[in-house]
Amino acid sequence: MALQEAGELGEAKAAFERALAADPSATAAYYHWVRMAKVAASDDVIAGMEELSERADRLSPGARSMLGFALYKAYEDTGRTEEAFAQLLEANRLARASLRYDEEKSRVQFARLRRAFSAELIAAKAQMGSASELPIFILGFPRSGTTLTEQILASHPLVQGTGEHSFLSELVSSPALNAEGLGFPESLPRAAPEALRGLGEAYVDRLQRAAPNAGHITDKLPLNFMFIGLIHLILPKARIIHMQRDPLDTCLSCFGQRFRADNVEFSYDLAELGRHYRAYLDLMDHWKRVLPDGAMLNVRYEDLVENLEAEARRIVAYCGLAWDERCLSFHETARTVQTASLAQVRQPLYRSSLQRWRRYERHLGPLVAALAPG
């Protein structure tokens, strides 16, 4: 997996194959192997997975789920669509059964953010935060194109891509935002200018440790969309790039992943996934209403795929940078990538990810219903 993250895909593939030769029940090796490239019907890996699937009762629920996600990818690549989705449903059912996801708690959290971050609060606290222009936040719903955008920017000589960071979620637990018996976000109206500035500087200090000499550093944690209001208050000069993608393509891509992170529990049930996406859309609409013009750049994944140079130029210009042609050769940039898109960003742009949901349209009823405006 370390080789895979570093972009050494040939060596990584060979290592996974050695692992499988040593232990044909190593479901994680199957899962990561199939995600590095398109699977062919003649690949031995399919037979190996199917043979293991016949003995799935000997595997743990977690291993059975991982194997199901791997078979889904292999069957999709080889045109076995119905079998692919059957594997995907069972893999997600097993994953969901192992999680404690509190949907109501999530709903309340979204509502608290919308209530606390009013346009009046944003105006009253304007320009109180750190003046640093170091951070570039790339955020949006998971699987919306954040890794691709980071790779484009990280190909610029003045930008260092450092992946996903949990610094913001750690900051909201700080004493500065949990005083007088109030927690985040209800404490914000009482936050003093020096507290907001200190939080911004603390974030910059943490981020800068990853790349001490960089002019700009990216933080591409998608779920930072929850903290856009806070980002604007503590780092008013930071760039915020919001990635958007077709809702059904986004959600299907989430449903097709066994995430390593533990903050995406909403993605293993189609209805829960759709409701969470609706809540995300409502929150993004709120941020657009209360933030000043220019506080955030919206980029559509589909536009980026269809017109790479124009969109890449727009992104680079928004970040205050001169254009650099290397941003168009992002797939050649050597850097560690740890997200689910680590193999895709090593390739030139492709259009096969557009409208993928149509292959499974007749199975997506719960998702389509949940995505409908309430």
Instruction: Return d(Cα 202, Cα 197) in angstroms, integer.
Output: 9
pLDDT in tens, 96-124: 999 999 999 999 999 999 999 999 999 99
Q: What percentage of the chain carries pLDDT values higher than 70? A: 94
Looking up residue 322, the CATH number of its domain turns out to be 3.40.50.300
Q: How many structural domains are present in the chain?
A: 2
Over residues 124-136, the pLDDT tens digits come to 999 999 999 999 9
pTM for the model stands at 0.91
Q: What is the pLDDT of residue 102?
A: 94
At residue 263, the pLDDT reads 86
Spatial CA neighbour of 21 closest among 51, 53, 45: 45
User: Using one digit for the tens of pLDDT, what is the confidence trace for 215-274?
Assistant: 999 999 999 999 999 999 999 999 999 999 999 999 999 999 999 777 899 999 999 999
Say if residue 37 is in the same domain as residue 123.
no
3-state secondary structure of 320: coil
Q: Are residues 57 and 194 in the same domain?
A: no
- 62, HSE (Cβ side, Cα atoms, 13 Å): 6
| Percent over 90 (pLDDT), the chain | 82
Of 97, 125, 154, the position where a domain reaches its end is 97
Cα distances (Å, whole numbers) of residue 188 to 193, 274, 347: 11, 30, 43
Question: Region 46-72: what's the mean pLDDT?
Answer: 94
Q: Are residues 120 and 38 in the same domain?
A: no
Same domain, 140 and 231: yes
Q: Is the pLDDT of residue 72 over 50?
A: yes
Last residue in a domain, options 97, 120, 144: 97
Residues 247 and 331 in one domain: yes
Domain that includes residue 121, residue range: 105-371
Residue 162 — φ and ψ, nearest 5°?
A: -120, 10
Helices of type H across 58-192:
61-77, 81-97, 103-116, 119-124, 146-154, 167-171
C-alpha 253, offset from chain centre: 11
Residues 82 and 153 in one domain: no
Q: Give the pLDDT confidence score for residue 354 in this predicted structure.
A: 81
Q: How far is it, in rounded angstroms, from Cα 187 to Cα 368?
A: 37
Q: Are residues 35 and 70 in the same domain?
A: yes
pLDDT digits (tens, 9 = 90+) for 343-370: 554 456 666 678 889 999 999 999 999 9
**Does 113 share its domain with 167?**
yes
Mean pLDDT score, 21-25: 92
Q: State mean pLDDT over 57-81.
A: 95
Q: Are 140 and 225 in contact (CB under 8 A)?
A: yes
Are residue 162 and residue 267 in the same domain, yes or no? yes
Tell me, yes or no, whether 207 and 169 share the same domain: yes
pLDDT digits 0-9 by tens, 126-178: 999 999 999 999 999 999 999 999 999 999 999 999 999 999 999 999 998 98
Same domain (yes/no): 212, 255: yes
Whether 359 and 215 map to the same domain: the answer is yes
pLDDT at position 338 is 55
Domain final residue, candidates 72, 97, 122: 97
236 or 342: which carries more pLDDT confidence? 236
CATH of the domain at 50: 1.25.40
| Phi then psi dihedrals of residue 216, to 5 deg | -140, 145
